[in-house]
Amino acid sequence: MTTTHEEPTSPAITWGYRRKSSLQQSYERQTKALSDLGIPEERVFEDAMSGKTMNRPGWQNLLSHVRANDIVWVDGLDRLGRSTLATLQAMEELEQRGVHVRSAKPVEDLQGATGELIRQIMLVMAQWERRQMLERVAEARAARVAAGLPAGRPKTALADKQVRHIQALRAAGYSVRQIVADLGISRASVYRALALLSTPEVEQSVPSILV
């Protein structure tokens, strides 16, 4: 009789994530919530930047540490992303790795029937946000046409590499003032580079769950 030996599974680890939108804000409330859950400081990752982008140092560091069956706690689901779309995207990124997401807020319990209801509400909100975003783009384009301006992308003297760099900095949460200071270019150049973001790029940023 052959005896098979199963590989021992690693015990689940509990992690924490906190985010603030600017350096002026405080982590105090989030830190207390995570501490009350018994999560040691060395297992808490943080970012001091906008939740618009998933390309955040603390978030990426967290993703490199978590394993299947681990649990990631946040003070509130809004810490995962700035919009409902971004929050859903962050949750999906963790859950695809087999990682469980938990919120310290009782009303954001993602388990069981309540969790399913919350996800459905978030999905509806994300779809509404997407429609609003696309409508604003269409309205801006129509306004340009009505004013006798070209509906397409405005021209810029910046090289493509510079334009992509400016857009990446803005997506990472940098203000226009910070970009101007860091790159030594005019405010008008920054706005021209940001104006190159078009509807197709907006469409590509939408998670597949909404398409």
Query: Comparing C-alpha atoms, which of 193, 115, 194 is closest to residue 159?
Result: 193
Query: Is residue 204 scored above 50 in pLDDT?
Result: no
Confidence of residue 39 (pLDDT cuts 50, 70, 90): very high
| Cβ neighbours of residue 53 closer than 8 Å, sequence gap 6 or more | 171, 172, 173
Confidence of residue 211 (pLDDT cuts 50, 70, 90): very low
- Residue 26 annotated to the active site: no
Confidence of residue 2 (pLDDT cuts 50, 70, 90): low
CATH code linked to domain 14-113 = 3.40.50.1390
Confidence of residue 35 (pLDDT cuts 50, 70, 90): very high
For the segment 79-94, the average pLDDT, to the nearest whole number, is 85
Q: Where are the alpha helices (DSSP H) in the chain?
A: 28-36, 57-65, 84-95, 112-146, 160-171, 176-183, 187-194, 199-204
Ordered by start, the domain boundaries in the chain are 14-113
Catalytic residue among 21, 35, 186, 189: 21
Q: Is this model's pTM higher than 0.75 or not?
A: no
